[in-house]
Structure 1
Amino acid sequence: MSDQLRPRRAGSRDLKTIARHGRLKKSNAAVAVAKVLAGSVAVVLVSGFSVAAIATYDVASSVQPSVHLANESNGPVPSIGAIDGGVNMLIVGSDSRVGQDAAFGPEDSTGDLNDVTMLLHISEDHSNASVISFPRDMFVSIPSCPDPDGGSFSAMSSQKINTTLSYGGLACTVLTVEKLTGLDIPFAAEVQFSGVMDMSSAVGGVPVCVASRIEDEYTGTFLDPGEHVLSGYDALQFLRTRHGVGDGGDLTRINNQQLFMSSLVRTIKSADTLSDPTKVYALAKAVTANMRLSDSLNSVTTLASIAIALKDIDLDQVVFAQVPTGSTTGGVKPVQPAFDNLFEAVAADQPLALSGTTGRGTVADPNAPVEAVPAPAATTDPAATEAPAATEAPAATDAPVATEAPGVVLSESVTGQTAGDYTCTAGRTLQDQ
């Protein structure tokens, strides 16, 4: 448990450690925290109406100080219906330290890179959803983007996707992903990295499974095999670890963070969380305090209506997927035709079914809960044991029986898991680094 997650030096387990590690190349806390906070916007939306409605109601009411009248009662959160049709929302995590806690480093210590870019898609009938991750080092073409200070930036043929935020802000990242995927994306949110510790603590900790020992001197993360309930600083360090997971690369860190987000979704949707107003409010505040919204999304009604559209989706129908990529000099590039096939399925509003692995950063949990199958009811009726009577084959002129389409089975090169999948981190020891 938490006593097994020890920092590199005794007595260094505080926010100062975050700042110190934040200066390490490829291992800073801002990058990892931004990734998970971005995913957590989708997590909160998936969690249900109560979380999102309270969060958005709080945001609206906190715009200016209010005056409570003697004969006034607060009343319930306004009733809002589910949004009509499907939704495409881009969730971008920034590594900027501007306006963040000083413990994460000086405001001018980083640029403004979108170190996470995730697309949340909700189906037209609200029966399924997907959260699709784009690796930060994936090379893409960037279209001409408006300059927030006036004019526009020139188009570029090949740049890493995480540079789009610094070129033209959130609008440029949206334009780039629209060009890359062929999708219209009317909603977007930019997420800062402060608050991940509060978020994990708000739900009373997030259970994570470790298959093989994690050893990471850069983050001070040392976890033995087994289940650990992580919150606060411990959760932050688990999310930061790269050297101690899979092959030590960023793609396997994404696998590990999908494990965490899936567990967080299950925790949020549990009765223990949704029935506890204190947990619901604390979780909502931890996320909404770190969001910058597009004009189209900057509305209590819109945010809550998207949440309602997601609240009844089964865990197995919430898919976390990482786009298929292959190595290239200095980064990764999309693998075709699997990449285009993925977004053609999204554009066609088809349910996504994973056929590949969860990625090298995680493995299936051998102790995952198994849903019991009820035994057939006992009967003393002898007729019940007799062979069923033969039936005539349908006439050749009969119309074919309609069957429900299972959706699109994605290429094995698309890694990921559903929110209902229980997975364990594939740890990496110092000896293997």
Structure 2
Amino acid sequence: MSEEPRTRARRVRRDSGIVRHGRQQSRGPVRTVLGFIGAAVVVLLVSGASVAAVAAWDVARSFKPGVALANEATIPQIGAIEGGVNLLLVGSDSRANTDPNVFDVDPGSVLNDVNMILHISQDHKSATVISIPRDMVVHFPNCPGGGGGWTGPINATLNEGGLACVVLTVEELTGLSIPFAAEIQFNGVIEMANAIGGVDVCVADPIQDEYTQTFLDPGMHTLSGLAALQFLRTRHGVGDGSDLGRISNQQVFLSSLVRKLKSAETLTNPVALYGLAKAAASNMTLSNSLNNVDTMVSIAMAMKDIPLDSIVFVQYPGTTGGAGVYSGKVQPNVAAAAVLFDAISADQPISLSGTTGVGSVVDANAPTVVPVEPTTTPDAGTASPSDSATATATPAATQQAATVLPDSITGQTAGSFTCSKGRTLNQQ
């Protein structure tokens, strides 16, 4: 699934601290992880109400025909959606409408290289985003349009039976009912990154990746457009070079993205909000249940007041291994995953006990206090700010005690400041 290795002689000269946008050198299909797909829907969730007020009609015109799911929700009226939300975000590696001078030849298959579940609690006090590794070996159920009924890496399900098939597979894997789903491709990621005006990411160690032409020195970098996409695609240049390391690197980007989206700088800028919403709607394929401005606004109103430390990014636990045809694939840690999904099914808040993952580290220079939006407590209606800046921050107080996840489940909160753990060419 990974790119073929090349000799040192073919490596290109690097300019310090620059992400270069040359043609991909890989001879095989690039199995890309688009962690930024979470941004497309998070944009709408965080700012949807304001967007609808500014340009609902024009945004609605951008929607493509929806995809029918086996288990869809009733479209709500304007107002916060009642109860909890489970929404699947899928990133496709399709080369459709991309620049052939930037990306390699279309491999002919369409893989779901990103699978993120967004869960909003029924009381709208917390949210969890679960990333499922693309090479995790799972069972494919029988799909609505045919296909399925076998076992393999989860990123084959989109090619097997489309978005609805991915949803059914994730439902079987997690035990969750998922009534909302969205899919985005390369160009959508680039347009979203441009629309937001860039995301600031911290790099702890040099990132050097000739496959995505990503070369970043330690320090802060503002990434937008293609540079953001390539940063999110890099695997060789971060952590231990695995897809598991790539997910924790993506969480560095996503946590910073959410902080920017929830800042006054973005939320009070109608032009920025409109551009974000239109870019998302124009570049995504949505389930019928989500293909409606009212639905997005309703979910946004459930999400917008959740404190940063109560928005948690986690990775479905697993280890790289296996034998035979599954050699090198990710084997799920079913016991640890059961703790996570039992808590989500019971709508209990979660608390991290593990690390941020092999692709990131806690930012040693992070501020000691994270400004967050006020949240209303059940009895007093007073502001309850959160001040955690660590990778294992405890979510804001809720009516239920938090379930402490096993330390084999890595992740961070949106209020956590982390840096990408880079990897040089000499380490590859």
Which range, TM-score by smaller chain? Answer: 0.7 to 0.9
Among 155, 162, 165, the alignment partner of 1:169 is 162
Identity, in percent, stands at: 55
Gaps of 5+ in 1: 8-12, 65-78, 374-402
Backbone CA RMSD of aligned residues: 2.6
Matched, 1:315 2:313: no
Number of the residue aligned with 1:398: none
Cα displacement (A) at 1:424:
0.5
CA deviations on 1:239-296 (whole Å, 9 max, x unpaired) are 2221111111111111111110110111111111122222222222222221111111
Number of the residue aligned with 2:406: 411
Query: Would you say the 8 A contact 1:44–1:52 is kept in 2?
Result: no
Q: Using the alignment, how far apart are the partners of 1:294 and 1:179 within structure 2?
A: 18
Number of the residue aligned with 1:258: 251
Gaps of 5+ in 2: 1-14, 65-76, 372-397
CA deviations on 1:27-60 (whole Å, 9 max, x unpaired) are x3x723xx23421134214423346535754332
Matched, 1:230 2:230: no
Q: Using the alignment, how far apart are the partners of 2:352 and 2:183 within structure 1?
A: 28
Query: Would you say the 8 A contact 1:132–1:320 is kept in 2?
Result: yes
Cα displacement (A) at 1:24:
4.6
Among 327, 330, 337, the alignment partner of 2:328 is 330
Greater CA drift, 270-279 or 39-48: 39-48
Matched, 1:245 2:238: yes
Query: Would you say the 8 A contact 2:37–2:189 is kept in 1?
Result: no
Q: Using the alignment, how far apart are the partners of 1:298 and 1:107 within structure 2?
A: 31
Q: Using the alignment, how far apart are the partners of 2:110 and 2:341 within structure 1?
A: 27
Query: Would you say the 8 A contact 1:207–1:263 is kept in 2?
Result: yes
Q: Using the alignment, how far apart are the partners of 2:26 and 2:97 within structure 1?
A: 18
* 3-state DSSP of counterpart to 1:194: helix
Cα displacement (A) at 1:181:
1.2
Name the TM-score, length of structure 2 as normaliser: 0.80
The one-letter amino acid paired with 2:18 is R
Distance 1:109 1:142, change over 3 A: closer
Number of the residue aligned with 2:345: 347
The one-letter amino acid paired with 2:40 is V
* 3-state DSSP of counterpart to 1:406: coil
Number of the residue aligned with 2:5: none
Distance 1:371 1:175, change over 3 A: same
Cα displacement (A) at 1:62:
4.8
CA deviations on 1:148-197 (whole Å, 9 max, x unpaired) are xxxx33511x2111111111111111111111111111111111221333
Number of the residue aligned with 1:424: 419
Distance 1:408 1:63, change over 3 A: closer
CA deviations on 1:65-86 (whole Å, 9 max, x unpaired) are xxxxxxxxxxxxxx93111111
Cα displacement (A) at 1:98:
2.8
Matched, 1:41 2:2: no
Q: Using the alignment, how far apart are the partners of 2:196 and 2:105 within structure 1?
A: 30
Matched, 1:109 2:107: yes
Query: Would you say the 8 A contact 2:190–2:229 is kept in 1?
Result: yes
Matched, 1:189 2:182: yes
Number of the residue aligned with 1:392: none
Cα displacement (A) at 1:351:
0.8
CA deviations on 1:130-160 (whole Å, 9 max, x unpaired) are 110100000001111122xxxx33511x211
Aligned length: 371
Q: Using the alignment, how far apart are the partners of 1:104 and 1:186 within structure 2?
A: 35
Cα displacement (A) at 1:106:
7.8
The one-letter amino acid paired with 1:21 is Q
Matched, 1:6 2:7: no
* 3-state DSSP of counterpart to 1:369: coil
